[in-house]
Amino acid sequence: MDAEQNLSCRNEQARRALLINSSFNGIDFVEVDPANHRVVRIFFIKPVGPFNPLNPLDPNDQYGLSTNLSPITIEGGTRIVGIRPVNCARLADGSLTLVVDQAGDFSTYTLVIDIPGLDRLLKQIDFSFMASCPSDFDCRQTTVCPPPQLPPLLLDYEAKDYASFLRLMLDLLPQLNPNAVERNPSDLNIALIELLAYTGDRLSYFQDAVVNEAYLSTVRHRISARRLAKLIDYKMHDGRNAWSFVHVGVSAPFNLPQGSKVVSHITAPLAGDAAPPGFEIDGARITADSLVTDPALASAVVFETTFPLDLDPRNNRIVIHTWGNDECCLAAGSTEAFLYTILPSNIADLPTLKKGDFLLLEEVLGPLTGLAADANPAHRQVVQLDQDPLVDEDPLFSNITVAGIPQPILPLQTPLPLLRVHWRIADALTFPLCLSTRPVDEPLIRNATVARGNIVLADHGITTSETFTPAAPVTDANNFRLPLSRSPVTMQIEPSEVKYSPATLSFLTPRTDLTGDAASAKPAVALSISFPTQTELWVPVADLLESSSFDQNFVVEVDNNNQTLLRFGDDEYGRSVFGALAFHSVYRVGNGALGNVGAEALAHLALSPVVKLVTTVRDPLAAGAGVDPESIAEVQQWAPQAFRVEQFRAVTEADYASVARKLPQVQSSVASFRWTGSWYTVFVGIQPSSATDLISKTNGILLLSDTLRVTVANFLTSYRQTGYDLEIRPPQFLPLEIDLSVCAAPGYFRSDVEQGVLAALSNRILPDGTRGFFYSGNWVFGQSLYLSRIYAAAQAVEGVDSLEVTVFRQFGQPDNGELANGVIPAGPWQIVQLDNDPNFMEHGVLKITMLGGKL
């Protein structure tokens, strides 16, 4: 062992104890004189004896250091080095006083006394010349024995999700335990690792959730995405339900209540029954619970009627009158028909139809074979009557029928009663319907197409209810959310103003128009909340931003799990539910594309109580319009650009005209600003899509229908600027006068060619479904008429060899060079018109002079 060994021991006094009973001595400690740092006092384990044993006060020590300073050295130092002893004297207590030539710095120095009488380990000692300086710390320095240094573990510090956490731990396990090589998923260790990876993934998500949910590009929750989209004026929709027309055949009149359930085909017996149900089912057996618990209803889809309807057997099957003619068809574009029905007594009677009723026109027999199986299911169309039917009759036939055929009238017999019905222009037939036909060498096939009443609208969804009673009155109202136990909640099309029954919360407002996109659908939820003083009706709104502190509104929110939550106000935006005792909700379940069932899919009517009068239930047309909820990915794609695509403001004249054209009732529009004395007024000209919205007075003045005028004004109000009035005006027509000289081709009759040219340049829909050249839907505001188009339209008629336009000008006005210029210019507010009606020549005149061909 040598003195330089780097040894650290907890008990360093043991060797000192051994020195006491040996012949060796050693340095115990040293002290530096605080007043003079050049004086160092050295204490030994055993007192140093005098050089002269007889003189205890001899200043010379027994080691001869007082006279020979060479064994004494002072090593170390940082700034001050090479310190040499200059004097050494023994004191009476056996210690030595050493005087050096200079005081040291703040570093550590080593005092060495290299003489044979001192122990080799204790002949030196570390000290500091500045040890006597004031300090708040213990001057003794503790030697630390650190634990052994292990090699660093290889870790993937970028692990963030389940897969990466699992990989990290599987890689780490062999580093900690080389024997851990098992990778079987059924192994307990692997199961624990997978559980830890799942937990790590969840914790990692919570770390990122706040920042993720703050931005639309990273959002992962539907509710957050919906609110963020609202900030940029984009409405994230939750889908909408499907709807269809349903025909109900009955054996006696009765009223079908609103909300009656219509169920798809049930092929198995209901619980407790021995056979599948018929057309009519007890409504109490078709509930939201039974759809889950009854195996027969596992795949059933339930619709509910949207308005009450008086059903009558006279509307089951309605005959379209052909006035005794054979091989007839109802042409494409038709908007009216004459109808009658045949009673079981074979007596013809009038159907019970009124304005607003729906009517099904359906091909029931194949025109070539007369077989029901050969009927074309695509030849079905539902139309809506736009005016009350007119009662009429055919005096050539009686009301007595034989085999469904009216018989010629005899004296004293009642004429055949007829009901003249007219339906909306928007519902004009899109294809011709064959009424009667005579196949080659076959008898006449009659009534190949019939009409049916008793048509009701029904949309997807079944009504259910539930009550939630909290353990205590609601206190944390701002954070309270009411969950609905069933999903998906129905999103339906409904009017802007609706009514609910205060007692049952049932929807009372009839819904006769179910068209609309998913963004306009509203949740079918009503809520009754019990407070200590009263029970109140609460209704849903799209958001609470426009709700006052007293409005009893709530918002329906759907989360990622399709769970529906009801969110309430905070007494600033909407009333809060503080103190609420119970919540009773009535809502519908069923939404999205699941309701888009095919034609003939609905087959049962569920009524309470059962009336046993239903003879048939069917949906002649496929249900449609069902849309699944908008996904977060779709919102992230469309929302950032939506406000650029459609801006809800109108600033220029072109803006107002463009906005008006968004309405389906508007064919074209024009707008202009005028100063009206105190403010600007925006005059908007409207060309209606339907001729019924344009009213002509006897004095020739044109007016828009009140319904269309109010609709357009209300729609534009949400776009117009403050300080601008609106004035909605009808179009100004530009009547035309055109003369043609047409040469028929050889082999064609002049009359046939003339008739073809008149049809081609007419203002009506032709029998083949095409539009005449001057059909109102072909022309818009400010569209000028070019002469070349007249030539093109007339020349396209079969049998026209050549033609020449001889007159081409505005009706009632002198020639202004239009023929020479080849154009009749239309003003910004004008629409060209040529009705060629001899009763109203001021609506345009077309004259044709025929040449050539055959007479």
Q: Which residue has the higher pLDDT, 258 or 769?
A: 258
pLDDT over threshold 60, residue 193: yes
Q: What is the pLDDT of residue 51?
A: 82
Model confidence at 23, pLDDT cuts 50, 70, 90, reads confident
Q: What is the pLDDT of residue 722?
A: 87
Span 114-129, average pLDDT: 89
pLDDT over threshold 70, residue 580: yes
In angstroms, how far is the first alpha carbon of the chain from the final one? 145
Query: pTM score, two decimals?
Result: 0.72
Q: Identify the bridge partners of residue 616 per DSSP, sorted by sequence position.
A: 249
697 Rama class: left (phi>0) / alpha (psi -120 to 50) / beta: beta
Cα gap 465→78, rounded to integer Å: 90
CATH 3.60.90 fits 647-729, yes or no: no
- Single out the residue of 233, 240, 453 nearest to residue 341, CA to CA: 453
Query: Structural domain boundaries of the chain?
Result: 14-127, 162-212, 462-590, 647-729, 732-854
Kindly tell me the burial class for residue 70, based on how many C-beta atoms sit within 10 Å of its own C-beta (0-12, 13-18, 19 or more).
Answer: exposed
Span 62-86, average pLDDT: 90
Phi, psi torsion values for 15, nearest 5 degrees: -70, -35
Q: What is the pLDDT of residue 240?
A: 96
Q: What is the pLDDT of residue 121?
A: 86
Q: What is the pLDDT of residue 133?
A: 65
| pLDDT, tens digit (0-9, with 9 covering 90-100), for 129-141 | 887 666 666 656 6
In the chain, how long is the greatest CA-to-CA distance? 180
Mean pLDDT, the chain, rounded, equals: 91
The length of the chain is 855
pLDDT over threshold 90, residue 1: no
Q: What is the pLDDT of residue 694?
A: 85
Cα gap 235→229, rounded to integer Å: 6
- Single out the residue of 719, 819, 802 nearest to residue 757, CA to CA: 802
Q: What is the pLDDT of residue 10?
A: 67
| pLDDT, tens digit (0-9, with 9 covering 90-100), for 362-417 | 999 999 999 999 999 999 999 999 999 999 999 999 999 998 899 999 999 999 99
Q: What is the pLDDT of residue 840?
A: 85
DSSP string covering 197-257: HHHHHHHHHHHHHHHHTTSTTT---HHHHHHHHHHTT------B--EEEEEEEESS-EEE-
Cα gap 603→533, rounded to integer Å: 47
Please, are residues 250 and 311 in contact by the beta-carbon 8 Å criterion?
yes
Q: How many degrees, rounded to 5, is the angle at CA 269 between CA 264 and CA 273?
A: 130
Please, are residues 43 and 28 in contact by the beta-carbon 8 Å criterion?
yes
| pLDDT, tens digit (0-9, with 9 covering 90-100), for 49-63 | 888 887 778 788 888
Span 629-642, average pLDDT: 93
CA atoms within 13 Å, Cβ hemisphere of 349: 15
Kindly tell me the burial class for residue 186, based on how many C-beta atoms sit within 10 Å of its own C-beta (0-12, 13-18, 19 or more).
Answer: exposed
List all residues 6 or more positions away from 59 whose beta carbon is below 8 Å from its beta carbon.
66, 89, 90
pLDDT over threshold 60, residue 2: no
Average the pLDDT over each of 373-382, 750-759, 765-774 and give the range with the smallest value: 765-774
| pLDDT, tens digit (0-9, with 9 covering 90-100), for 463-490 | 999 999 999 999 998 899 999 999 999 9
pLDDT over threshold 60, residue 199: yes
List all residues 6 or more positions away from 826 whose beta carbon is below 8 Å from its beta carbon.
734, 781, 782, 783, 784, 785, 832
Q: What is the pLDDT of residue 155?
A: 84
List all residues 6 or more positions away from 749 whose beta carbon is below 8 Å from its beta carbon.
853, 854, 855
CA distances from 271 to 280, 283, 292, 293, 326 (A): 16, 14, 12, 9, 52
The percentage of residues in the chain with a pLDDT greater than 90, rounded to a whole number, is: 69
Q: What is the pLDDT of residue 445?
A: 92
Domain 14-127, CATH number (from 2.60.40.1220, 3.30.70.120, 1.10.3450.40, 3.30.1330.40): 2.60.40.1220
Span 251-276, average pLDDT: 94
| pLDDT, tens digit (0-9, with 9 covering 90-100), for 325-349 | 999 999 988 999 999 999 999 999 9
Q: How many CB atoms lie within 10 A of CB 353?
A: 22
| pLDDT, tens digit (0-9, with 9 covering 90-100), for 647-678 | 788 999 999 999 999 998 899 999 999 998 88
The amino acid sitting at 33 is D
Q: What is the pLDDT of residue 749?
A: 93
Q: What is the pLDDT of residue 142?
A: 65
